[in-house]
Each structure stands twice: as structure tokens, then as C-alpha cells.
Amino acid sequence: MHPSVEAFAIAAGLLALGAALVHRFGFPPLPVYLLTGLLVGERLPVEELEPLPSLGLLLLLFSVGLEFGPDRLRGLSGKAMRAGVWDALALPLGFLLGLLLGLDLRGSFLLAGVIYVSSSAVIVKLIIDLRRAANPESEVVLGVLVLEDLVVALLLALLGGEGGLGLVFSLLLVLAYLLLARYLGPPLVRFMETLSDELVLLLGASLTTGTALLFHAAGASEGVGAFLSGVVAASLGLRERLEHLFGPVRDLGVALFFLVVGAQALGLLESLSKAALLGAGLGLLMKLPLNLLGGKAAGLGRKRRFYGALYLLPRGEFNLVLGALALGQGYPLVAQVAVLLVLVSVPLGALLIRFAPELYRALEGRRPKAAKQPS
């Protein structure tokens, strides 16, 4: 039997066991995927799992792109925009932190992106799993995530290619895709309505991976390519069908991707520096007061802005993309901060979000009664 089949069987079994355990206690499974990788990384030949983890990341970015069709962008509320302005202050603060840690301008921009962007995939899944999508803070949080992912996609286009040439090619490819969607979209959608789900799944996978390869060949970021293919698909009105078809495949790939991240983190963190610990710690805490102020600007009450600030704590897919980019460009400190943030914030964020009501009641219980305000 091929070693990749053995590795997949072991990995899938471990991930299923971990997911079953956390589901029993009402927790989302993503944190356990990371922890499983940390525990078994040295004993499991994770390199044999490729290309499934890499494909999982591309499908994850594709799914994030599906959330950014024109309807979602037009539907951004003023509340989300006001909260997003406060949230975006993490960018200049992260840039200044990078300069203080001795990074050059490019490294500081990469660190700023790592600190700024939260994980749409993790947070949306947590909100859905905990059945809080109808809560007032969820609308604001989801709007902030839209703005974050758009900003980081632009940052990847600026920093992920081969200098200015990579950026020019990225912009040209984005323009070409949008023009194709604009002029060929309606007949293409009518044609796809006649196709079977199996064929649509295969065509969607071809679009995602092909676009990623095209961007990579042009000296741009393949992650931006996968993200763009999702945006184009959403603009054509294919969001619901593709989400339904890609959901199970994406979830399997994402589970393996986080397992591999946890396993590979051991090697990256062996030479962990104090600067990386400081950067990760400050990066983790930096956004909490900004998001509390953003929730206040959005008109949320004390309780709801407390929930919203906790929801935006987890880091994930784009942080790891930026970390891998930083490592490839000679910034191991940024890569270490990115991995540390993901490893700490996903399980910690899941716990804090799960017990947010209990935490709020405990904190409010310690306040003088006269100082309490309605939520």
C-alpha cells in the first residue's frame, strides 16, 4: 500500500476522534486539528498527505471569496464600516511594532497583516456551530471580516508577487477575470444550470486550482488567485450551489491543512525568539480594545461589543498564507508570530467565544451595581 494512503488513514482517524470528542462537549473542531498536529507531528509523515492540505487551503480561500459577491459588498452596513475603521488601526500599530522589533519596511508590512486579519473561516464556523448568526453583534463581525479579507487580499497582491511586476500581473489578471464575469457570466450561468452537480464540482475545482496556478506563474500570490475565483463565482450567482458542493471537500482539506500546520509548527518554533513571543502576545491583545471601541462606534451595547471583540480574536488562513510568504522572503520572525497567533488564538478564541455569556456575567458581577449599563 502506498505510504500516502497509510498516512491519510491515520490522520483521518485521529482527526475524527478529536472532532468527536469536542463535539460531545459542544466545541467546534478546528482547535483540535491544530493540537492533533502538535501532538503527533513528529510521528506522522505529514509530507505524504500532500496535495490534500494545500488543496484544502486553496478551497478555503475560494470559500472565503464566495462571501464577497457584489450583493454582500453592497449590503455592508454603516455599523460594520464604523467598526472596521477601528479594527483597521491594527495595521499601522502592527507596522510600528515591526519597526520596533527590527524589521525593515516589507517585513513590517507583513507583520502588520498577520496581526490585523482575523480568520473568516474559523469565526464564521464558530458562529454557525454555536447558533449565534442572528445575534446583533454577528452582523457587525461578519462585515468587519469582509473588510479585513479585502484589505489583506490587496496586501498579498502588493507583497506576494515578484515586486512591482507581480503586482501589475495581479491587477491585469483581476481585471481580466472581472471582465469575463461581466460579459460571459450570464450565458455561462445558464449553461451551468444544465450540468450535473458532479460536473459543476469538477469545473469549480479546475477554476480554483487553475487560477491559483495562473497567478503563481505570473509571479503573484496563488492565494489571491483562489480568493478571486470565489469572488467571480459569487458575482455570477453561484454561491449557494458551490458552497453546497464544496463544503464536505473543503472541510476535509481544511482539517488536514490545520493538522499539517500544527505538525510543522514544531520545527519552526524550535528556535523561538523573545521578539516572536513579544510580537505574538502584543498582536493577540492589540485588537481587543480596538474592537471594543469599534463595537461602541457601531452602536452595540456593552455585552454585544464584548462578544464581538472576542469573536474577532481567532487568526487562521490568511495569517498562515502571510506567514509562509514571510518565511519564503527571509522573515522567520514574522512566520513565527503568524504560527504562534494561530496556535494560541484558535483554541483560546473558541473557548472564549463558547463561554462568552458566562464570562460577561462573571465580569459584570464584579462591577458595582450602580455602574451597570443595559446591554
CA atoms within 13 A of residue 1's CA, in its CB half-sphere: 8
What the chain holds in terms of domains, given with CATH numbers, is 58-253+270-357 (1.20.1530.20)
pLDDT in tens, the chain (375 residues): 677 888 888 888 888 988 888 777 666 677 788 788 888 877 778 778 888 888 888 888 888 778 766 666 665 667 888 898 999 999 999 999 999 999 999 999 999 999 999 988 778 777 877 778 778 888 888 888 888 888 887 787 777 655 556 667 777 777 888 788 777 777 888 888 888 988 988 988 898 999 888 888 877 778 778 888 888 888 887 888 888 888 888 888 888 888 887 787 777 777 788 899 999 999 999 999 999 999 899 888 888 989 989 999 988 878 888 887 888 788 989 989 998 898 888 888 888 888 888 888 888 776 665 545 555
The predicted pLDDT at position 306 comes to: 92
The predicted pLDDT at position 116 comes to: 94
The predicted pLDDT at position 291 comes to: 92
CA atoms within 13 A of residue 179's CA, in its CB half-sphere: 6
The predicted pLDDT at position 165 comes to: 63
The predicted pLDDT at position 300 comes to: 86
Instruction: Give which of 231, 235, 229 is closest to 215, Cα–Cα.
Output: 229
Alpha-carbon distance 125 to 145, whole Å?
Answer: 13
Q: 333 near 107, Cβ under 8 Å?
A: yes
Q: 270 near 223, Cβ under 8 Å?
A: no
Alpha-carbon distance 302 to 309, whole Å?
Answer: 11
The predicted pLDDT at position 182 comes to: 77
Give the DSSP letter string of 340-369.
HHHHHHHHHHHHHHHTHHHHHHHHHHTS-G
Alpha-carbon distance 272 to 332, whole Å?
Answer: 10
User: Which pTM does this prediction carry?
Assistant: 0.76
Q: 327 near 113, Cβ under 8 Å?
A: no
Alpha-carbon distance 108 to 162, whole Å?
Answer: 18
C-alpha cell at 125: 464556523
CB within 8 Å of 9: residues ≥ 6 apart: none
Please list the alpha-helical segments (H only) found in the chain. 3-24, 30-40, 52-66, 70-74, 78-87, 90-100, 105-116, 120-129, 136-159, 163-192, 197-217, 222-235, 239-268, 274-297, 302-311, 317-328, 332-354, 356-365
C-alpha cell at 248: 464536505
Instruction: Give which of 62, 375, 3, 59 is closest to 232, Cα–Cα.
Output: 62
Q: How many residues does the chain have?
A: 375
Alpha-carbon distance 147 to 75, whole Å?
Answer: 12
C-alpha cell at 260: 499539517
